[in-house]
Amino acid sequence: MGFKSLLASLLLISAASAQLSGRVGPTSSLSSKQSTICNVLDYGGSIGSSDIGPAINSAFTNCVLKHSGSTLYVPAGNYNMKTWVTLNGGTKWAFRLDGLITRAATTGGNMIAIENANDFEFYSANSAGGIQGLGYQCRNAGPRLIRMVTSTNWSVHDLILVDSPEFHLVIQQGSNGEVYNMAIRGANLGGSDGVDVWGSNHWIHDVEVTNRDECVTVKSPSNNILVERIWCNQSGGSAIGSLSDGTAIQDVLYRNIYTNGGNQAFMIKSNLGSGYVRNVLFQNFISRGTAYGLNINQYWSSQTPGSGAGVQLSNITFQNWDGNVVDGVQRPPIQLICADGAPCYDITLSNVNMWSQTDKAVVKCESAYGSGVSCIKSGSTHTSYAVVTQSITRPAGYSTPTTMSGDLSTGFATNAAIPTPTIPTSFFPGLPQISPLAKNL
């Protein structure tokens, strides 16, 4: 094996190791958290309540915090909520949400925020509980639905989140978290993020997202993030970013990502800034009918420029991609636009077969160094260069991307209620979910 081949192999191995650094999820069993059931119906709540928020807060304060090994329980049924709750602290506890909570106020913030929890599980035992945000009534002017804040050893699963006025699920810092078996339905417009995650050692898997913004997106600072078996179903698509000054992201693995329609198969987005993104592997991507395909854009015009010369991207590998964009001349299936002040390097495309539904396409590169696409430059000296645009032919390895039962043909209207879905049992063509639905256990 030649030196260049050996080096490429070592880089790929390094990228492939970019995933979890240890175990994730609660450290004790769910059954061990059922010694005390803190039922909201015993703390002032009622099925059909006009505001279940105070009962949730009371059950947490007067029961969960006083009994380690307890479960805060919202039984099946419909509830309105006007008072948002921040549940701070607690060790070895669970939040069982079997009912459907509907937003009934326009206050900003987070409908349910979990802060500083340890050994915690937020779930629906019937795989039908969740939150209906009715975002069409206060678009981009109301609360986010769920926010996990600086918590450790936790999981969120088997929940349905619908039409948030803002973002649906935010993972803010913390460590050792797991999110899985989720269905998220947002409207066909920006500001409707599905899952935003940053922190250390988090695993996001088996999630379906419909919206027109972030599907599952990693933000800074982050390390050891694993995202897999994601179904971006008429979604804006997954991304890393937006990135600006002081970015610190490393050891990230996205694999088995399926995107049906939307903005992009994947995007790394920034506008100048500083810091780094390194040691990232994007493996086994299928996409169809997206606007952009594989898209690095470090001059993203929708973002205010940072003060630095650019976020440094390095040791980033794209492996085993099959997909198409709507118009490959108007928007390239592969675009690597890196910062002139911080050229990206060790960008490797391996078995990446991206094409266009029009059977015509170009690729674009700027200040990008690596291999696997005709417009990229090689070499150990990384200096800036102007945009290179090249016409390409259909890749020999390209095949018409497969579909999934349940693929949507369009997104959801912004001015009408979005129906509550069921959680699917597969999120990537040909692969089952990693963990069964809670209702099937």
Q: Is the pLDDT of residue 270 over 70?
A: yes
Q: What is the DSSP letter of 76?
A: S
- Angstrom distance (rounded) from CA 18 to CA 14: 7
- Is residue 245 part of the annotated active site? The answer reads no
Residue percentage of the chain with pLDDT more than 90: 95
pLDDT at res. 19: 87
Whether the per-residue pLDDT at 200 is higher than 50: the answer is yes
Instruction: Kindly report the backbone phi and psi dihedral angles of residue 71, in degrees, each rounded to the nearest multiple of 5, phi listed first.
Output: -125, 125
pLDDT tens digits, one per residue of 315-335: 999 999 999 999 999 999 999
Please state whether 351 falls in left (phi above 0), alpha (psi between -120 and 50) or beta.
left
CB of 163 closer than 8 Å to CB of 129: no
Instruction: Summarize pLDDT for 44-82 with one digit per residue, the tens.
Output: 999 999 999 999 999 999 999 999 999 999 999 999 999
Examine the pLDDT at 4 and tell me if it is beyond 90. Answer: no
User: Dihedrals φ, ψ of 15, to 5°?
Assistant: -65, -40
d(CA 324, CA 322): 7
Which tokens sit at 248? 């610190």
| β-pair partners for 392 | 361
**Nearest to residue 404, comparing CAs of 320, 286, 322, 283?**
286
Containing H/E element for 378? none
The answer to whether 47 and 79 are in contact (CB under 8 A) is: yes
CA distances from 284 to 24, 159, 259, 351, 353 (A): 23, 26, 11, 10, 11
Measured distance CA(174)–CA(106) in Å, rounded: 28
**Given CA atoms 272, 275, 279, 281 in this order, what sign does their dihedral have?**
negative
* 343 vs 388: CA distance, rounded Å: 14
Q: Which amino acid is at 158?
A: D
Q: Which of the residues 213, 251, 322, 346 is marked catalytic?
A: 213
**Which string of DSSP letters, residue by residue, matches 331-365?**
S-SEEEE--TTS-EEEEEEEEEEEEETTS-EEEEE
Rounded mean pLDDT of 172-198? Answer: 97
Mean pLDDT, rounded, for 277-286? 98
pLDDT reported for residue 9: 39
- For 111-163, write each residue's pLDDT tens digit: 999 999 999 999 999 999 999 999 999 988 899 999 999 999 999 999 999 99
Neighbours of 143 (CB within 10 A): 26
